[in-house]
Chains A and B, each alone.
Chain A
């Protein structure tokens, strides 16, 4: 008998001792119907808004949106007519000249950001793409970078499932709301730290680029102060986190291959 056979038998034996525990049909179908209906309604609302003339505004916004950066190793072929390119100039990422400042907090506070050229190329590109999407209040583009639509993993909340763009929009629109897009750009504009982290049990530590440095495993006094000075969190909030023992504020992680794996706050 081979180890293959042994393993099959081990699974059969283990399966035999697992008690049957039926999933709740009523709970599953009612949740499934509710979520499907919510998606359909969202689609209808978007369609109606487009018909009502928002298409023009959207078009205007899109025409001002820079082309996303190509993956590392490919040359940028952004059309020359694009008013703003995400390609860093003089080490800076410049906001597009015409942003709709009423659309989201990141657009209201758009200002040049250091390109952090010391980052690996793919991390630099992803960071720049995220910042430009936030400046343009383009939640769909942001969601695209999370990779969730392609089955990638991304953490944006510890209590929500579904799509992060709807979640971020909801937080921005709430009263009192959260400036999640501005916080995203503010955090990414701060200095980063490179950490080794066990993302998969048994796979060994992987490198992760994290913002802000206060979210690292061993933050320094300067790392904490940077959070307050950048306006990401108030001194009071930072004091509370330090009392708790960990940074719990807005934090971002990007893998060396450019995969954006989290943007989350709280615990």
Chain B
């Protein structure tokens, strides 16, 4: 009986993994700007999803996985910050995606945002989530999400607006 439950869990998780793994990695990539870190974080999130499968399988595990990635990104940022404070500087490695202009412009603009605001923007404009859903995923009051979004857009607008567009054409 236990073996059959394990098989069921593995089969369900495998289907979730097949459908979501690459999307989760891309989500993490927009949050971190680094493909290797994004891959590691997405895998760690998947491990945690599996660990909690019995408690989240009846909901949509997607939001749980995304919340986990956001929390990991924030932990990872603080961890690297602590490391940086105590480490001698080292050279950054080359990232092939970083050389692609379409990606680089957006990634550089996202990096100027605090991680929680970056997450709000990526969930809204990449994941197409409604603000109420974002609030649920991030376990954050709706008012804070609205304010995060407002501030984030104010910061992103001058960085991403097409230089030859008329200001009147921008919301």
Contact = CB atoms under 8 A, between A and B. Distances in A.
Contacts of A36: 50-51
A262 B161 contact: no
The winner among A19, A153, A198, A247 for most chain B CB atoms within 10 A is A153
B78 A199 contact: yes
B79 interface: yes
B146 interface: no
Interface stretch (A21-29, A63-71, A81-89, A184-192): A21-29
Main secondary structure of the interface of B (DSSP, over half): helix
A245 interface: yes
Contacts of A151: 67, 71, 139
A217 interface: yes
A39 B13 CA distance: 18
Interface residues of B, number: 64
Interface stretch (A3-11, A105-113, A122-130): A3-11
A128 to B, nearest CB: 23
Contacts of A14: 30, 102-103, 106-107
B160 interface: yes
B77 A200 contact: yes
A15 B50 CA distance: 26
A15 B116 CA distance: 20
A35 to B, nearest CB: 6
A52 B122 CA distance: 51
Contacts of A196: none
Nearest to A19: B97
B125 A11 contact: yes
B62 to A, nearest CB: 15
A68 B139 CA distance: 25
B71 A158 contact: no
A17 B102 contact: yes
A21 B106 contact: no
B150 interface: no
B75 to A, nearest CB: 4
Interface string B75-99: 1011101110111100000000100
B121 to A, nearest CB: 8
Nearest to B156: A7
B43 A24 contact: yes
A64 B67 CA distance: 38
Interface in A211-248: 217, 245-248
Nearest to A1: B169
B51 A267 contact: no
A18 B87 CA distance: 31
A3 B107 CA distance: 17
B71 A18 contact: no
Contacts of B105: 10
A161 B47 CA distance: 11
B17 A25 contact: yes
Nearest to A246: B86
B71 A28 contact: no
B102 A13 contact: yes
Interface of B: 10, 13-14, 17, 21-22, 24-26, 29-30, 35, 39, 42-44, 46-47, 50-51, 67, 71, 74-75, 77-79, 81-83, 85-88, 97, 100, 102-103, 105-107, 111-117, 121-122, 125-126, 128, 139, 153, 155-157, 160-162, 169-171
Given A7-B160, A11-B30, A20-B22, 14 more contacts: A10-B106, A10-B125, A14-B30, A14-B106, A22-B21, A23-B24, A23-B43, A23-B46, A29-B17, A32-B47, A35-B51, A151-B139, A155-B82, A203-B114
Q: Lowest 8 A-B CB distances belong to which pairs?
A: A2-B171, A32-B50, A200-B114, A203-B114, A153-B75, A23-B21, A11-B126, A32-B47
